[in-house]
Amino acid sequence: MNSKVLRVARNEYLNTVRTKAFIISVIVMPLFMGGSVVVQAFLHDRKDLTDRRVAVVDRTGRLFERLATAADGRNDKAIWSEEGAVREQTDARWLLESASDDEAALSDRVRADELFAYVIIPPNVIEAPGKAAVAYHTNTPTYEGLPRWLGNLLNEEIRRERFAAANLDQDTVERLVLRVPLRKFGLVEMTAEGVVKEAEEVNEIANFAVPLGAMMLLFLLVMMAGPMLLNNVLEEKMQRISEVLISSVSPFELFLGKLVGTVFVSWTLAVLYLGGVAFLAHRFEFAHLIPGSLYLWFAFFHLAALFIFGSIFSGLGAACSELRDAQAMMMPAMVIVMIPMFTWVAVIQAPDSTFSTALSLFPPATPFIMLVRLAVPPGPAAWEIIAAVVLTIAFSVACVWAASRIFRVGVLSQGQAPSFRKLFGWIFAD
């Protein structure tokens, strides 16, 4: 890499990291990634404690008293927390009342906020299993806690009535049909001393959080770098700065310098964020859930993704003369970048499937999908990793070459509406 390319890269890097936008981006991404968790934790203890009054139309004549007794017990004990001498309410009270069978009047009371909901229990709900359903009516269908509690309690009491009618002891039946838990483990290993090492229990959260977190971080870093490079190239072209720069460096040197500078900017962000992840992993003792090799693979695929999509976005920026043209040309590139976001669930659930293998060997998606597969035990086969590395390097080189050819012509063209046919012509033009 000659001195002119490094000079352009250094200038591009320093001009970016000194801006307020870069400093803000360093702060904003952790807020995006952790802000939701913090907000949910903050709001968890700040629930709406307004009483919910529910009218119950019990057409069986046998269930309301039990429901009301259970609700009173909940209101007296389950929704309170005690720390020392302080007793604090943690959830709303649910107040049940018996009501007459007049749904129109009950609906009017719900609309007038006298009731939160009303429940209709059909007369044959006990004697006709599967043929009757309890109806819960409310104007606030998104409030899930109350109907879930009512449904569970009703089913428990109805089962109790059915067992009694069949002369069966409910406690005995529930003990006999109690489900056996299924715990997931890895494989046992044989140590060098010939001792069998016990298998470790699978951490379900880590199996999803680690690959998803790695892919999301890579996606965000690429999406911060690619459009930024497009905007920089387009802005310099619109202000005729590129014409002055090309008088000192060749178009290829200018293109490569900008690309390398953007890589350094994105790497700076990656080091900060990965350093934060490593610190938190050790601080909260979950570092063992993140394989050390995953950091190295992240660095490689991050570099490859930057060269692939950085080249694409810079070529598009050089080809356009107006912002609206660039926005139109970005759409196909954005669709390619979004492929991993549409498919990550299927890949995590079946990382060794034909679909996952083929997608991880499709170079535009390889940096993201192969990173996911590497984070999911036991990982892809060695030949798949080698093929992914070779294909990714080859495709990165091809993207840099093609984008540099487009940049060579496009950076000096003015007033021409770009098209993909024209871009292909520029790539293979002499």
Instruction: Provide the residue-wise pLDDT of the chain in tens; the chain has 430 residues.
Output: 677 788 888 888 888 888 777 777 777 766 665 655 566 555 555 677 889 999 999 999 999 999 999 999 999 988 888 877 788 888 899 999 999 888 999 999 999 999 999 999 999 898 887 788 899 999 999 998 999 999 999 998 998 888 888 888 878 888 887 888 888 887 788 887 878 888 777 777 778 888 998 999 999 899 888 888 888 888 888 888 887 888 788 888 888 898 999 999 999 989 988 888 888 888 888 888 888 899 999 999 999 999 999 999 988 888 888 878 887 888 888 888 888 889 988 999 899 999 999 999 999 999 999 999 999 888 899 999 999 999 999 999 999 999 888 888 888 777 677 777 888 888 887 6
Q: What is the DSSP string of 110-154?
A: HHTTS-SEEEEE-TTTTTSTTT---EEEES-TT--HHHHHHHHHH
CA distance 360 to 365: 6
Q: Where are the domains of the chain?
A: 52-170, 204-427
β 189-190/196-197 pair status: antiparallel
Interval 326-349: pLDDT, tens: 878 888 888 888 888 899 889 998
Task: Compute the C-alpha angle 330/335/337, nearest 5°.
Answer: 95
- Beta bridge partners, 138, equal 117
What is the DSSP code (8-state) at residue 289? G
Whole-number pLDDT of residue 35: 59
Domain at 52-170, CATH homologous superfamily: Periplasmic binding protein-like II (3.40.190.10)
Interval 96-107: pLDDT, tens: 999 988 899 999
Q: How many CB atoms lie within 10 A of CB 370?
A: 31
Whole-number pLDDT of residue 46: 65
Whole-number pLDDT of residue 307: 94
What residues contact 106, with CB distance under 8 A and at least 6 apart?
55, 57, 99, 115, 118, 137
Whole-number pLDDT of residue 34: 60
CA distance 225 to 306: 7
DSSP E strands: which ranges in 15-128?
52-58, 80-83, 86-89, 94-98, 117-121
CA distance 62 to 66: 8
Contact 425, 273 (CB under 8 A): no
Structure tokens at 166: 């069949």
User: Which residue in 314, 334, 207, 217 sits closest to 271, CA to CA?
Assistant: 217
Structure tokens at 7: 């000079």
Give the three-state DSSP class for 98.
strand
Place of tokens 């056996």: 180
